[in-house]
A and B are shown apart, each in its own frame.
Chain A
Amino acid sequence: MKPILACVLALVVLSGCPAYAVQPDEIMSDPAKEARARDLSRELRCMVCQNQSIDDSEAPLARDLRLLVRERISAGDSDAQVIDFLVARYGEFVLLKPRLERHTLLLWLLPPFALVGGGLALWLNWRRRSKSAAADDESLFKLTAEEETRLEQLLAAQPSPDQPA
C-alpha cells in the first residue's frame, strides 16, 4: 500500500551505506566468468535486505557475497557447486528460488494445480450444466408419472368411438 519503493528504500536508510550494487573493483577480468557471476548473483538473496538479490543490493554483506561468488568461480567451481557452497554456509534462505523439497512442495505445485484443477472444474461444471439443460429440454416433452395416470384416466373415462353411446 505504501509506495512500492518504501521497503526497498528502508534498506538504503538502514544500511546507511551509499555504495551500490556491483562495484567496478569487483568485476572479474574474464567476461564469461563475470557473466556467470552476475547470473548467479541474481539468484542469491542478500540476507540482511528485504527481498533483494545480491546483484541489486547495496548492503556490505551483499558485496561480501558477490566477492565470495567470484572467488568460488575463479577457484574453478561450477554454478551448482557455488550454490551448494553458499547454501551449506548460509542455509536455504540465501536462495531466491527455493529448491523443490518437501516443505516447498505446495509452493511449487500450487500454480500448475490451480491451472489444471481450475480447467477441470470448469469442464465438469460445463458438462453437468449442459447435461441438466438437455435433461430439462427432454423433460419438457415427457409426461410425469402423475400426468400419465391422469391421461389414462381421461382416456378410460372417454367413451370408445366403437361403442355406440
Chain B
Amino acid sequence: MIAEAGHYALVLALALALIQSTLPLLGARWRDPALMNVARSAALAQLLFVAASFAALVTLHVTSDFSVVNVFENSHSLKPLIYKITGVWGNHEGSMLLWVLILALFGGMVAAFGNNLPLSLRAHVLAVQAWIASAFYLFILITSNPFLRIVNPPIEGRDLNPVLQDFGLAVHPPMLYLGYVGFSISFSFAIAALIEGRIDAAWARWVRPWTLVAWIFLTLGISMGSYWAYYELGWGGWWFWDPVENASLMPWLAGTALLHSLVVMEKRNALKVWTILLSILAFSLSLLGTFLVRSGVLTSVHAFATDPTRGVFILLILCLFIGGSLSLFAWRASALKQGGLFAPISREGALVLNNLFLTTACATVFIGTLYPLALEVLTGEKISVGAPFFNLTFGPLFLGVLIAVPFGPMLAWKRGDLLGAAQRLMAAGITALIAVAVLWAWTGGGSTLAPLAIGLAIFVIAGALTDLAERTGLFRLPLSASFRRARGLPRSSWGTVFAHAGVGMALIGIVCETTWNTEYIGSMKPDDVAIVARYQLRLDGATQQQGPNYREMLAQFTVSLDGERLAIMTPSKRNFTTRGSTTTEAALLTRGFSQLYISLGETAADGAIAVRIYHKPMVLLIWLGPVLMAFGGLLSLSDRRLRVGAPKPAKAMRGLQAAE
C-alpha cells in the first residue's frame, strides 16, 4: 500500500511538473498574472508530492518491507536504524529519488521566497525547473522505479554494501546533491534571461545567493566525501582522481568561476554573456556527472552497451538540456548588451583571470575523464588517464591561479594599480619567503617544491589577512576605529577573506600530507612495537567481537611518544556475513592537525597481523580548508544586500555606482 502510494505520488508530481513547465510560459507570453502564478503553486505542490513519495520509500526501508525489490536488494532487518534510513539513497533508484526531491526543494524555495522577483522572470525560472524535473521523473518512472514489488517476498534482505554502512553516507550524498542540483537554479535563471532577452545587475544579485548555496553544499559535500574515503578505504588516500570524483569536481570548478563572474556582473554590469554561459556549464556538468555515474559507462563501455536503457535515457536528457541550452545561448546571447569597460589590470581583470584558470582547470579534468571513453568508442584503443596525469596538468594550473589570488581584492575596479597592490602585499610576500627559507632549512633541503608550495599557501593566507587589515585600517588607525570599521565591513568582504584563506590552508595540508607522510607496513605479533615518526605503537593483542550485522576483529595498540603513554588505538576489520565482504575500520589519533592512522590487513597462520601505520602531518587542514571556504560562503550569503532582497534595476544601478 505504501509503495503504491509513493509510486502514485511520483506520478502526480510528474503531472504537476508538466503543468508547471507549460502554463507559466503561456502566461508570460499573454502577460496573464494568474497563469504565471500557476508556477508558484505548482512548484509547492510538486515539492509536497515528491516529499510524500520519498517519505514512502524511507518508511518501506525502515519497516524492512522486503516485498519491495529496492528494499530487498539494499537492506537487512538487522541493519541499524540510521543505515536503514541512509540506505534509501545508497542505491541507484533511491538516489535518483533524492535527486528529484532536492530539485523540487529548490523549486519550492524559489516559489516561496521569490516574491521580490519580477513575475515573468519567476514564471520562466520555475518553468525551466519543471522541464528538468519532468525529464527526471520520467527517467525514474520508466527505467528506475524504486517501488517495484516482488511476487514472492523473501524473508530477509541482501543487506547494504558494508562500505556504505557508515555515517558518511548520511551526510555526503545529500550535501553533494544539494550542490549539484542547486546549480539548476542558476541554470534556470540563465535560460529565463535568454528567453526574456533581458539581463542586468539585478539579475546577478538574484542569482548569486542561489549559486552560493549550491557552492557551499558542493564544497562541503566533496570534502566530506574525501574524508570518508580517507578513513573508510583503509589506505589513507583522500583523493584518487577517480571519474566519479572528477564528476563532482567539474561542477565545483565551474561554480567557483561562476561565483566570481557574478561579482563582476553585479558590481560592474559586465561579463554578462560569459556569466550566462558559466551558469549553463555548471549545471550541464552536474548533468554530465549524473550520466557518468548513473549509466554504468565508467565501469566499462561494454557494460553500457549491453544494458543501455538507463544510460541512453540519461544521455538523451543530457543532449536535450545541454544542446538545447547552448543553442538557445548561441541564438540569443548576441541580443544581450555588453556592459562596462575595464582595463586588463583591474579587479574585473583579476576576476577574469581567475575564470580563465578555473575553466581551463575544469576543461583539463573534463578531457582527462572523458578522453579514454571517447578514444575507446571511436578507435577501440584503451588507455588510462589517472592521478599522475592530473597531478601534472591540473596541479600547475591551480598553483598558477593561487599566485594571483591575493592581488585580486587589492586592485580597484575599472583600472587597478598593480605596483601599489604589490607594495601592499610586501609584508605577505616577505612572510611567505621567510616561511620557505625556514621550512627548507628545517627539512634539510629534501624537497624544494614542497617549501615553495607552502610558501605560496602562506602568501595566499597572509594576502587575505592583508586585505582585511587594509579595509579596516588596522595599524594605520587607532584600534577602536579599526574595530568599528571591521564591524561595518560588508559580510561578503569577510567571506572573501575566509574563503581565500581556506584555499591556502587546504594547500598546506595537501603539500604536507603528500611530502612528509610516514608509512610503516609490516606484520606484527602481540607485544611487537612499530616506530612511526617518533611515535611508538605497541600491539597489545587482538580480540573477536560480534556487531549487529557483522563480526569484527579488534586490535589494540598502545601509542606512546618518548616513553610517555598517549592513547589506545583500536583499528578493526569487519566481516559482514550476508554479503560475505570485509571492511577495514581504520583507527585515527589526532594530534593537533596531524593524525596517526592504523588499518589492519590479513592475519597470518602464525597469528601475525599485517598492519599499515601512517603518520600524516597537517592532514586535517585538507578538509578544514574547504570548511573555512564554505564558512566564507555562508558569511557572504548573510550579507545584507543579498538578504534584503533584490531592488529594482534602476535603484540597483545607482547603488552600484555608490559602492566602492
Contact = CB atoms under 8 A, between A and B. Distances in A.
Contact of A1 (B99, B364, B573): B99
B593 interface: no
Given A20-B235, A103-B381, A126-B344, A2 B95 contact: yes
A21 B232 CA distance: 14
A122 interface: yes
A12 B581 contact: yes
B584 A20 contact: yes
Interface string B93-130: 00100010000000000000000000000000000000
Given A5-B225, A13-B581, A27-B521, A53 B387 contact: yes
A114 B364 contact: yes
A112 B500 CA distance: 25
Contacts of B483: none
Given A1-B180, A95-B383, A98-B389, A133 B341 contact: yes
A5 B222 CA distance: 11
A31 B243 CA distance: 33
Given A23-B610, A98-B384, A5 B99 contact: no
Nearest to A104: B383
A45 interface: yes
B522 interface: yes
B12 interface: no
A10 interface: yes
A6 B392 CA distance: 26
Contacts of A4: 172, 222, 225-226, 228-229, 242, 244-245, 248
Contacts of B584: 20
B168 to A, nearest CB: 7
In this complex, the member of B173, B222, B599 whose beta carbon has the largest number of chain A beta carbons within 10 angstroms is B173
A8 B233 contact: yes
Interface residues of B, number: 81
B582 interface: yes
Nearest to A6: B244
A106 interface: yes
Given A16-B580, A19-B601, A118-B359, A98 B383 contact: yes
Given A2-B95, A3-B169, A97-B392, A106 B367 contact: yes
B389 A96 contact: yes
Contacts of B225: 3-5
Given A3-B169, A8-B229, A110-B367, A92 B356 contact: no
Give chain A's interface residue range (CB within 8 Å of chain B). 35 or more
A3 to B, nearest CB: 5
Contact of A111 (B168, B228, B294, B397): B397
A51 B356 CA distance: 28
Contacts of A2: 92, 95, 173, 244, 293-294
B382 A92 contact: yes
B196 to A, nearest CB: 25
Contact of B290 (A1, A24, A53, A91): A1
Contacts of B341: 129-130, 133
Nearest to A25: B523
Interface in B238-276: 240-245, 247-248
Contacts, number: 189
Nearest to A21: B235
A9 B581 CA distance: 11
A18 B582 contact: yes
Contacts of B245: 4
Given A16-B581, A96-B385, A51 B368 contact: no
Contacts of B90: 3
Contacts of A42: 387-388
B388 A96 contact: yes
Nearest to A55: B235
A94 B320 CA distance: 36
Contact of A9 (B99, B164, B237, B602): B164
A93 B300 CA distance: 13
B360 interface: yes
A43 interface: yes
Contacts of A130: 341
Given A7-B298, A111-B393, A53 B229 contact: no
Interface in A115-143: 115, 118-119, 122-123, 126, 129-130, 133
Contacts of B228: 3-5
B386 interface: yes
Q: Pick from A91, A114, A126, A129 the residue with the most CB of B within 10 Å.
A: A114
A151 interface: no
A56 interface: yes
Contacts of B229: 4-5, 8
B379 interface: yes
Contacts of A45: 384, 386
A24 B603 CA distance: 12
A53 to B, nearest CB: 7
A130 B349 CA distance: 14
B647 interface: no
A4 B90 CA distance: 11
Contact of B232 (A1, A5, A56): A5
B234 interface: yes
Contacts of B431: none
A45 B13 CA distance: 45
12 contacts: A1-B244, A1-B247, A3-B173, A5-B163, A5-B228, A8-B233, A12-B581, A18-B581, A23-B601, A45-B386, A51-B241, A114-B359
Interface of B: 90, 92, 95, 99, 161, 163-164, 168-169, 172-173, 176-177, 180, 222, 225-226, 228-229, 232-235, 237, 240-245, 247-248, 289-290, 292-294, 298-299, 338, 341, 344, 352, 356-357, 359-360, 363-364, 367-368, 371, 375, 379, 381-389, 392-393, 397, 521-523, 573, 579-584, 599, 601-602, 610, 612
Given A1-B293, A5-B228, A98-B389, 14 more contacts: A4-B172, A4-B225, A7-B243, A13-B161, A24-B521, A24-B522, A45-B384, A56-B237, A92-B384, A96-B384, A96-B389, A97-B389, A111-B364, A111-B397
